[in-house]
C-alpha cells in the first residue's frame, strides 16, 4: 500500500511516515493525487516553455489574424479530444484510489477492537481505559499507551467546545463535539512515541493541546496498565508526608484526583501516576521537577488562559510538594 512512501523518512506528527494501516491508506491516496498533479503540472509547464522558445523571435511582432485550415482544425480537435480523454482517465484514477482507500478504512470499523475513551478539554486530553471492574479503570492524561498490532477504537467526545483528535502517523483526524460520541479505528504496528494534536481551533491555547500515542509490545503494555491501575503509594519519608499534606490542604485538592487519598476532583487531570508521564501541560513542557514547580506556582505565565490558577506557597511547601509528586509513578 505504501508504494509512494519516501525511503528513510522518519518524521513525527506527519502523514508521510505511516505506522499503521489507516495512515498507510491515507498516505497512498495523498501520494496518488500528489504525483498525478505534479506530472500534469510539469507537462503543462514544459509545453509552455517549448512554445515560448519556438516563438521567441516573434514575441515583439504584431500577431497576424489567425487563419485556419481543415487540416489544422482536425489536429486541434484531436488534441483537445485526447486531452479530455487523459483528464477523465486521471480523474477516474484518483476517484478509484479514493474509493479503495475509503473502503479499506471502512472495513476497519467492523473489526473487534480494544476501546480507549478520550475526552477533549480546554486544553488537555483525558484518557480512560475502561474495565469491567471499576476500581481497575485507568485514568491518565495526554499520553495514550497502546499495544502494537492490535486494532484500537478511540471513543471520543468533548467536555466543552469542538476539538479534533489527530495523530497523523496513525490515522486521519476525527472531530470531537460536545454532547456527541464518535469512534475512530486505528492500529499502530511500530514501537515508538507518535505525537498528536488538536486539529480544530478551540481557543487561546489550541496550539498547545498535544498528546502522545505510545506503542509498545503487548506484554509491556499490560505491565503499564497494571501499574497505572494501582493506587498511589503511601508517603515513605517525613518530607513526602508533608508534601502530601500540602497537596491536600491547598487548592490542588479542589481540582485533581490522586487515588488512595481524599483527593477526588475531576476538574483537572488525574495525578495518581503523574511522575510516569513524559510531559506536563498537554505536551508544553518536559516533566522535570523544575518545570513542574514553575507550573504549580504560575501556570498562567506558561499557558495563559488555562484553568490552572496560580498557587501561593512558601519555598519549603513547594519543595515538599514536589518531593511528594515525584513519588507518583
- With beta carbons less than 8 A apart as the criterion, state whether 202 and 227 touch: no
pTM of the model: 0.82
Burial class (CB in 10 A: 0-12, 13-18, 19+), 213: buried
**23 and 99 housed in the same domain:** yes
pLDDT at 5 (0 to 100): 45
Q: Report the SS3 class of residue 200.
A: coil
Residue 254 lies in a domain: yes
C-alpha–C-alpha distance, residues 94 and 155, integer Å? 31
In-domain check, residue 199: yes
Task: Give the per-residue pLDDT at 220.
Answer: 94
Let me know whether 76 and 43 are in one domain.
Answer: yes
Q: What is the pLDDT of residue 11?
A: 67
Could you tell me if residue 224 is inside a domain? no
Q: Report d(CA 197, CA 187) in Å as an integer.
A: 17
* pLDDT number for residue 286: 94
According to DSSP H, which parts of 165-314 are helical? 218-229, 238-249, 289-298
CA-CA distance, 310 to 294, in Å (whole number)?
Answer: 10
Instruction: Name all contacts of 89-93 with Cβ < 8 Å and 24+ positions apart.
Output: 90/36, 90/40, 93/32, 93/36
Q: How do residues 259-288 score in pLDDT, each as one tens digit?
A: 999 988 989 999 999 999 999 999 999 999
The pLDDT score that the predictor gives to residue 7 is 43
Instruction: Give the residue among 130, 136, 94 at the shortest CA–CA distance from 114.
Output: 130
Domain that holds residue 6: 1-56+72-108
Element (H, E) at 23: helix 21-54
Number of domains in the chain: 3
Which residues have CB under 8 Å from 316's CB, separation 6+? none
Name residue, grid cell 523544575.
290
102 and 139 both lie in a single domain: no
Residues 102 and 123 in one domain: no
Residues 250 and 189 in one domain: no
Q: 313 burial class (0-12, 13-18, 19+ CB within 10 angstroms)?
A: middle
Whether residue 272 is contained in a domain is answered as yes
User: What CATH number is given to the structural domain containing 130?
Assistant: 2.60.40.420
Per-residue confidence (pLDDT) for residue 319, from 0 to 100: 94
Q: Report if residue 148 sits inside a domain.
A: yes
Determine, yes or no, domain membership for 225: no
Tell me: do 118 and 199 sit in the same domain: yes
Tens-place pLDDT, residues 52-70: 888 776 666 666 666 667 7
In a domain, 87, yes or no: yes
pLDDT on residue 145: 96
Q: Do 5 and 100 reside in the same domain of the chain? A: yes
The answer to whether residues 212 and 270 belong to one domain is no
- Spans in the chain with pLDDT lower than 50: 1-9
- Predicted confidence at residue 157, as pLDDT, reads 95
Locate 218 and state its grid cell.
503487548
- pLDDT of the residue at 6: 45
Q: Nearest CA to 97 among 1, 215, 224?
A: 1
| Pick from 322, 136, 321: nearest CA to 242 | 321
Among residues of the chain, what percentage have pLDDT more than 70?
A: 91
| Residue 66 within any structural domain of the chain | no
Amino acid at each position: 500500500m505504501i508504494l509512494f512512501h519516501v525511503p528513510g523518512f522518519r518524521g513525527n506528527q506527519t502523514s508521510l511516515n505511516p505506522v499503521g494501516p489507516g495512515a498507510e491508506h491515507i498516505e497512498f491516496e495523498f501520494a496518488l493525487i500528489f504525483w498525478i498533479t505534479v506530472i500534469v503540472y510539469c507537462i503543462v509547464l514544459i509545453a509552455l516553455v517549448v512554445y515560448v522558445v519556438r516563438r521567441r523571435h516573434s514575441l515583439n511582432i504584431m500577431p497576424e489574424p489567425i487563419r485556419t485550415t481543415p487540416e489544422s482544425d482536425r489536429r486541434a480537435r484531436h488534441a483537445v479530444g485526447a486531452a479530455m480523454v487523459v483528464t477523465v482517465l486521471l480523474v477516474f484514477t484518483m476517484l478509484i484510489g479514493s474509493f479503495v482507500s475509503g473502503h479499506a478504512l471502512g472495513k476497519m470499523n467492523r473489526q473487534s477492537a480494544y476501546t480507549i475513551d478520550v475526552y477533549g478539554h480546554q486544553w488537555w486530553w483525558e484518557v480512560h481505559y475502561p474495565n469491567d471492574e471499576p476500581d481497575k479503570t485507568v485514568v491518565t492524561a495526554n499520553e495514550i499507551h497502546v499495544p502494537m498490532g492490535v486494532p484500537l477504537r478511540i471513543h471520543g467526545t468533548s467536555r466543552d467546545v469542538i476539538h479534533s483528535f489527530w495523530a497523523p502517523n496513525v490515522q486521519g483526524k476525527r472531530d470531537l463535539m460536545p454532547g456527541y460520541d464518535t469512534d475512530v479505528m486505528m492500529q499502530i504496528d511500530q514501537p515508538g512515541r507518535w505525537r498528536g494534536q488538536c486539529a480544530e481551533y478551540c481557543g487561546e491555547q489550541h496550539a498547545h493541546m498535544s498528546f502522545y500515542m505510545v506503542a509498545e509490545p503487548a506484554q509491556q503494555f499490560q505491565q503499564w496498565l497494571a501499574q497505572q491501575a494501582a493506587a498511589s503509594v503511601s508517603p515513605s519519608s517525613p518530607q513526602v508526608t508533608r508534601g502530601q499534606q500540602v497537596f491536600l490542604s491547598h487548592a490542588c485538592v479542589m481540582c485533581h484526583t490522586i487515588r488512595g487519598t481524599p483527593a477526588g476532583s475531576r476538574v483537572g487531570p488525574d495525578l495518581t501516576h503523574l511522575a510516569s508521564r513524559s510531559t506536563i501541560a498537554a505536551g508544553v513542557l518536559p516533566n522535570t521537577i523544575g518545570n513542574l514547580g514553575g507550573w504549580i506556582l504560575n501556570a498562567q505565565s506558561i499557558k495563559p488562559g488555562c484553568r490552572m490558577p496560580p498557587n501561593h506557597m512558601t519555598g519549603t511547601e513547594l519543595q515538599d510538594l514536589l518531593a511528594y509528586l515525584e513519588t507518583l509513578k
